[in-house]
Amino acid sequence: MVTEGSVYLYEALDKKVYFKEATILVPSHWKSKNVTKARTESFEKAKIRIDNANSTYGDQPYTKQYGECGTMAEYIHFTPEYLLNDAVIQLYGLRGRVFVHEWAHLRWGVYDEYNKEKPFYHSNGRIEATRCSKNIEGQFYEVTAGGSLQPCHIDPQTSLPTDKCKFFPDRNQNTNSSLMSLPSLDSVSTFCRKNEHNNKAPNLQNEKCDNKATWTVIFEDSVDKDALQTLKPLESPPPPPSFKVVQRAQRVVCLILDVSGSMEGARILQQRQAATHFLRYIIEDQASVGIVTFSTSASTLRSLTIIDSDITRETLVQLLPKRASGSTNMCLGLSQGLHVLQKDNGDVLGDEIIFLTDGQATDNIAGCAPSAIQSGAIISTIAFSNSAAQALTEMADKTGGIFFIAKDDMISNQLMDAFASLTLSTGDYTNEPVQLESVGARTSDWFNGTVSVDQTVGNKTSFVIIYETRFPSIYIQSPSGSIYTQTNMSHDGLLKTVTLNIPGTAEPGDWKYSIQTTSNQAFTITVTSQAAHDDVPPIIVKTHMNQQFSDGTKPMTVFAEVSQNYRPVINAEVWATLESETGSEHTLQLLDNGAGVVQLNPPKPPVSEEPLEVGNFTRTATGESFVVKLSGTTPPNFPPNRITDLSAEIQEDTVLLSWTAPGEDLDQGTAKSYEIRWSFDLDMLRNSFSNGHVVNTAAVSPHEAGSVEQHSFNLSFPIQNGTTLFFAVQSEDEQNAKSETSNIAQASKILHGPKPPGVSNPGMNLTVLVISLCVVIMVICFIVAVTAWAVRRRNRFV
């Protein structure tokens, strides 16, 4: 199966590239005898996933794409049924060809050259099928319920074939492209090149890649653009690749905790509170955990211990450090932690370090960090202060770990959130913790709130309340009215923590908490839960940034995704909070209004499943910290973001344009003005926007970012039948900075004649068309994830 895929890739890129070896990661809960256990692989970071079917798309392979054209995608999703059942080949195509099609999405950030939503378009007075290259020939026809063929009918509203009309390519073709359009066609073996690219087809490749050919994007814009230019063709066909099927082994984690003098007092207490939460509720059963501390010297408080019971968890909790003194010798802590990790199997490859410190190193951390990076351990670092040694970010970045900055301001709850984020998914989300709430406040009266427990969670639900000085009165009410008080909770006076563990499965609905104090003090509440049922994965939240370091020349983008068993969760309220090291906050609402969202292609055959109504729910997630270093004192002025959904329609002699409004700065605020131009020539408008014919926009006042804009106008001449026009828009802000040119929209004026133009009678030399699926989520704006999902998101500027 994959050997065939390597041959296709070898041919598609002029015999430059092939697969030599590959590792296939399967979920850890699958039972198999021929699987190698490995700690170096992570389900969340896997680029090719073999997992149970996405309930929306069935067994159809797809690639999940974020970001811009030429940017690597998130992952390819195959199902066991697709890989093992040869019958599905008739539905989805040969596995090797489909693999190369999806690989191009994944690795090179190209898009589909077909369009299930717009399968036909007008060109030079004819009806054309959306495809690449245009040299692919075929016939249009409808298939009746009995399986016979009949001529296509024309929709009078669009002057295009109706939804029942399909394009069937001829079996014998005189072209070998394109794999992004018709990978199932026998003659197709390569990607569309510039000289054969169909830049007028209304497909995602043209829309998202500025009408560039797939070949052009791969060789000029992708992550491999430099390497592909210098690679030489192989002298012979590639050998069969080797494959290794692996499962993620149980986690091995060492906590390396700072106990230097600057940690004494509130910081050492907050470290204990957060590490306790991690050991009790976050680290999974059967994982191995060790504890190391460092200051002037380093000590092992606990060698690697398997988490096999709640008693073991509490044993580790009791060993957490309570006092702090001395200097900050980070290198000693790193060395001691690596030594602890080596004890189980002689190496640290794939083992994890959670390294927490509150400041700069007394020793030369920059000198010992390289050896820690080369060890093979995954190092996540937490800077518990406003200043962090550069080596902390470097170790996390280069080992696949996560870097956090956590303020020691108690009400931020950032240290608790950082530890709660240190999970490593196995793909079985039913056994993993879900954070429902994390919030803090300072008051001398009441601290009230509501947490929604939806029907996908409820097991192992815990409310953890941390107070600053005096034990408060606490009341927690279930949806049905049952009230829990301190008598139902456990209280740790030394840890200043009150915990309510809900027995069994928590009742779904709104849980209300009320905390009363007579003294002015800070509180935080953290609520976690797990799946209510073994066969119903919970709603989960994932977050990340498009970059971890920025000099201000490129916008930072927050991605926020909420899903349930690969299905997006829609119609929820979404907020992202970004906080700087000085404590200033910037909150953004992430809108589920379809701006920049590409509708997903339907699967074959259609998958019918009732939507899961979950009611109210809450989720919180803390993203990795990121660094912005501006070269000057003035923040950069970003122009309005590029419009990507411009559409055009001609009714009689009137042109109607529609698009989503950009902002003053990318997608924030309101742009000052629009410039609209048109042309008979697509390439001219794309390459030289200023030379296009200008449209009078004096009456057009831009609306707030995310709004739907519409503008209708008449040209200075009658539009002839069969005419196709091309349109584009630029936006301008108050500083006269202009956006990039929008996608090129086209519209044709077609008057109905006695015979529909360009629709031929179906021939007999036909082949069945099989198209692969690509799931696309586009982000169009500054620090906003444009998805049909919901999440509360915390992140921090540094």
pLDDT digits (tens, 9 = 90+) for 158-199: 889 999 999 999 988 888 999 999 988 888 999 999 999 999
pLDDT bracket for residue 752 (50, 70, 90)? low
Provide the β-strand partners of residue 177.
190
- 627, 630, 631, 636: CA torsion to nearest 10: 140
pLDDT bracket for residue 389 (50, 70, 90)? confident
Query: What pLDDT is recorded for position 591?
Result: 63
Burial class (CB in 10 A: 0-12, 13-18, 19+), 397: middle
Query: What pLDDT is recorded for position 421?
Result: 93
Helix, strand or coil for residue 593? coil
Mean pLDDT of 453-473: 96
Query: What pLDDT is recorded for position 284?
Result: 93
Query: What pLDDT is recorded for position 681?
Result: 94
Lowest mean pLDDT among 83-92, 646-655, 719-728: 83-92
Query: What pLDDT is recorded for position 276?
Result: 98
Nearest to 283 by CA among 380, 401, 419: 419
Query: What pLDDT is recorded for position 610?
Result: 59
Q: Is 80 exceeded by the pLDDT of residue 7? A: no
Lowest mean pLDDT among 566-580, 705-719, 784-798: 784-798
Sheet holding 352-357, edge to edge: 298-306, 288-294, 252-258, 352-357, 378-383, 403-405
Q: Report yes or no: 266 and 409 within 8 Å, Cβ to Cβ.
A: no
Nearest to 355 by CA among 346, 345, 343, 368: 368
Q: Is 50 exceeded by the pLDDT of residue 775? A: no
Helix, strand or coil for residue 276? helix
- Radius of gyration in angstroms for the set of CA atoms belonging to the chain, rounded to a whole number: 29
- 328, 329, 330, 333: CA torsion to nearest 10: -110
Report the percent of the chain where pLDDT is more than 90: 58
Q: What is the 3-state secondary structure (H, E, C) of 76-114?
A: EEECHHHHHCHHHHHHHCCHHHHHHHHHHHHHHCCCCCC
Q: Under the phi-then-psi rule, with left for phi > 0, alpha for psi from -120 to 50, and beta for the rest, what region is 638?
A: beta
Mean pLDDT of 293-302: 97
The torsion angles phi and psi of 166, rounded to 5 degrees, stand at: -125, 150
Lowest mean pLDDT among 33-37, 296-300, 374-378, 627-631: 33-37
Amino acid at 256: I
Q: Is 50 exceeded by the pLDDT of residue 642? A: yes
Query: What pLDDT is recorded for position 23?
Result: 74
Helix, strand or coil for residue 687? helix
pLDDT bracket for residue 763 (50, 70, 90)? very low
Q: Is 60 exceeded by the pLDDT of residue 607? A: no
Parallel, antiparallel, or unpaired: how do β-strands 549-550 and 627-628 relate?
parallel
Measured distance CA(473)–CA(678) in Å, rounded: 68
Query: What pLDDT is recorded for position 3?
Result: 53
Measured distance CA(237)–CA(15) in Å, rounded: 8
Query: What pLDDT is recorded for position 790?
Result: 31
Tokens read off for 281: 């509720």
Measured distance CA(24)–CA(378) in Å, rounded: 20
Q: Is 50 exceeded by the pLDDT of residue 480? A: yes
Amino acid at 315: T
- Higher-pLDDT residue of 229, 478: 478
Parallel, antiparallel, or unpaired: how do β-strands 252-258 and 352-357 relate?
parallel
Nearest to 637 by CA among 742, 779, 738: 738
Q: Is 80 exceeded by the pLDDT of residue 113? A: yes
Mean pLDDT of 578-585: 80
Query: What pLDDT is recorded for position 556?
Result: 82
Measured distance CA(263)–CA(324) in Å, rounded: 6
Q: Report yes or no: 432 and 498 within 8 Å, Cβ to Cβ.
A: no
- Higher-pLDDT residue of 53, 7: 53
Nearest to 422 by CA among 298, 249, 251, 305: 251
Give, rounded to a whole angstrom, the gap between the first and last alpha carbons of the chain: 47
Measured distance CA(93)–CA(232) in Å, rounded: 30
Mean pLDDT, rounded, of the chain: 86
Q: Is 50 exceeded by the pLDDT of residue 595? A: no
Q: Is 50 exceeded by the pLDDT of residue 782? A: no
Quick one: which H or E segment has residue 434?
A: strand 434-443
Q: Report yes or no: 374 and 397 within 8 Å, Cβ to Cβ.
A: no
Nearest to 75 by CA among 35, 112, 115, 103: 103
Lowest mean pLDDT among 2-11, 218-227, 289-298, 340-349: 2-11
Mean pLDDT of 117-123: 92
Mean pLDDT of 366-388: 92
pLDDT bracket for residue 89 (50, 70, 90)? confident
The torsion angles phi and psi of 430, rounded to 5 degrees, stand at: -70, -15
Query: What pLDDT is recorded for position 297?
Result: 97
Measured distance CA(492)–CA(599) in Å, rounded: 51
Indicate if the alpha-carbon torsion angle 714, 720, 721, 725 is positive or negative.
Answer: negative
Query: What pLDDT is recorded for position 701?
Result: 94
Query: How many secondary structure helices (H) and strands (E) does the chain include?
Result: 14, 45
Count Cβ atoms below 10 Å from residue 320 Cβ, excluding itself.
21
> What does 366-389 look like in DSSP terms, one character per residue?
HHHHHHHHHTT-EEEEEE-SS---
Provide the β-strand partners of residue 796.
579
Q: Is 50 exceeded by the pLDDT of residue 759? A: no
Kindly report, residue by residue over 514-531, the tens digit of the pLDDT. 999 999 999 999 999 999
Measured distance CA(728)–CA(733) in Å, rounded: 17
Query: What pLDDT is recorded for position 592?
Result: 58
* pTM of the shown model: 0.83
Residue 666 DSSP symbol: B
Lowest mean pLDDT among 34-48, 70-84, 415-429: 34-48
Provide the β-strand partners of residue 114.
none
Measured distance CA(533)–CA(377) in Å, rounded: 34
Measured distance CA(535)–CA(537) in Å, rounded: 6
Residue for token digits 């030399």?
A: 765
Kindly report, residue by residue over 536-545, the tens digit of the pLDDT. 999 998 888 8
Residue 249 DSSP symbol: P
Stated length of the chain? 798
Query: What pLDDT is recorded for position 1?
Result: 40
Helices (H), ranges, 526-606: none
Q: Report yes or no: 214 and 113 within 8 Å, Cβ to Cβ.
A: yes
Tokens read off for 299: 């000590």
Helix, strand or coil for residue 22? strand
Mean pLDDT of 344-361: 91
Catalytic residue numbers read: 102
Tokens read off for 583: 């404590």
Amino acid at 753: G
